[in-house]
Amino acid sequence: MKRAFLILAATLVAFGLAGCGGQDVIKIGGVAPYTGEAATFGVSSKQGMELAIEEWNAAGGLLGKQIKLVFADDKGDPAEGATVYTKLIKQDEVVAIVGTVMSKVTLAGAPIAQNAGVPMISPTSTNTKVTEVGDYIFRACFIDPFQGTVGAKFAFEDLGARTAAAIFDVGNDYTKGLSEAFAAKFTELGGSMVAFEAHPTGATDFKAQLTKIVQANPDVLYVSDYYNDVALIAKQVRELGFTGPMVGGDGWDSPELTAIGGDAVENGFFTNHYSKDDTRPEVREFVAKFNAKFGAEPDALATLAYDGMYLMLSAIKNAGSTDGVAIKNSMKALRLPVVSGTVQFDENRNPVKSAVIIEIKGGKQVYRTTVNP
């Protein structure tokens, strides 16, 4: 009888501990393309999320509990994104989501979070349609019209370009939106768009479009694609004889750009969310911590994922609750200095913040200038 009682007591203790452990964890979903066409973005994003949660847990956690990151790979595919968002919400029961990277995938996942009343913040999805999904959807990055406008102003005012051409992936809302915003602002400033060429998703040979562009003889070429396509486009357009500057968006931000493109991407410039060379204390401290943990300097993807996680956890802390409505309302009221700048959200849940211009010079990313909103 005594032995049976001890076994029963041990079992009850085990279940009790398991129950307490479950209650002492707050689950936050993380989504990024860890594999697929933009895998370097996913790796950086996951690292940024992990570092933020590690720091919060070391400082005592959140609402008296430890934070657990439940990470999912969306593979850069909208269908996969919808699947993992559904799993995180229904099976893993996360209270909020930080993700995802690519606008086309975020637009597949955001309606699922909105319908479930689960607050989410995309670190880097810049397409305007993302936050239009609903009032539970936020972002940590500036939007395409601002990014395209900054690129156009830089091309017109700093580079002195008066004619421009653009090439973009017709199947990608991000690249299309950037190019449209660039063209609108460049024209408004007094410049002329001499070519506006779309290429199919998945293409590797761009010479048909680039031949038309080179024949139009633009002062500057705007390339809004992701780094892998940008590198190929740069090599092919240089082979066709274009020697002028190229300008693009934050999709350029990967070490693979110069690894694939080599000298062809020199004289290239892109808008980005932060520069590691910024002298602000928040930047210097973050770069040092990230380097110590991962043995590399953080790119903008890592930075915005880190910032996005900090914004979400701060909102939960200020709300004093993991209730979706409370978190959403707390997010709207935030004004918080993070690595990429002081963030506060406008009426559409987009952050008001600055942008930087990065130059590809000597095979490296070099800070050029900062542009305020």
| Predicted confidence (pLDDT) per residue in 288-331, tens digit | 999 999 999 999 999 999 999 999 999 999 999 999 999 999 99
Is the per-residue pLDDT at 145 higher than 90? no
- Residue 222 φ/ψ, nearest 5 degrees: -95, 120
Amino acid 340: pLDDT: 92
| Beta carbons within 10 angstroms of residue 256's beta carbon | 15
8 A C-beta contact, residue 173 and residue 127 = yes
Q: In angstroms, rounded to a whole number, what is the distance separating the alpha carbons of residues 123 and 338?
A: 13
Cα dist. 330→101, 313, 340, 345, 358 in Å? 23, 10, 20, 11, 33
Amino acid 212: pLDDT: 98
**Alpha helix (H) ranges present in the chain?**
2-23, 39-58, 78-90, 103-116, 129-132, 144-153, 173-188, 207-216, 227-239, 256-261, 281-294, 300-319, 324-332
Helix (H) or strand (E) holding 98: strand 96-98
- pLDDT tens, residue by residue, 175-189: 999 999 999 999 999
Is the per-residue pLDDT at 14 higher than 90? no
8 A C-beta contact, residue 302 and residue 275 = no
What mean pLDDT comes out for the span 241-270? 96
144-158, 235-249, 250-264: range with highest mean pLDDT: 235-249
Q: In angstroms, rounded to a whole number, what is the distance separating the alpha carbons of residues 348 and 322?
A: 22
Q: In angstroms, rounded to a whole number, what is the distance separating the alpha carbons of residues 357 and 345?
A: 22
Q: Which domains does the chain have, with CATH numbers?
A: 8-142+279-354 (3.40.50.2300), 145-272 (3.40.50.2300)
Mean pLDDT of the chain: 92
Q: In angstroms, rounded to a whole number, what is the distance separating the alpha carbons of residues 326 and 324?
A: 5
Cα dist. 42→98, 155, 232, 292, 356 in Å? 12, 30, 21, 20, 22
Amino acid 315: pLDDT: 98
Cα dist. 136→110, 309, 312, 328, 348 in Å? 9, 15, 12, 6, 10
Amino acid 344: pLDDT: 92
- Residue 141 φ/ψ, nearest 5 degrees: -115, 160
8 A C-beta contact, residue 163 and residue 189 = no
pLDDT band at 135; cut points 50, 70, 90: very high
pLDDT band at 23; cut points 50, 70, 90: low
The letter for the amino acid at 30 is G
Is the per-residue pLDDT at 15 higher than 50? no
CA angle 344, 72, 321 (to 5 degrees): 45
DSSP 367: E
Neighbour-count burial of 8, counting CB atoms closer than 10 A to its CB (0-12 exposed, 13-18 middle, 19+ buried): exposed
- In sequence order, the β-bridge partners of residue 164 are 193, 220
- pLDDT tens, residue by residue, 101-125: 999 999 999 999 999 999 999 999 9
Is the per-residue pLDDT at 19 higher than 50? no
What pTM was estimated for this model as a whole?
0.77
| Beta carbons within 10 angstroms of residue 274's beta carbon | 31
pLDDT band at 280; cut points 50, 70, 90: confident
Amino acid 25: pLDDT: 96
- Ranking 13-17, 35-39, 95-99, 219-223 by mean pLDDT, the lowest is 13-17
Is the per-residue pLDDT at 8 higher than 50? no
Amino acid 194: pLDDT: 98
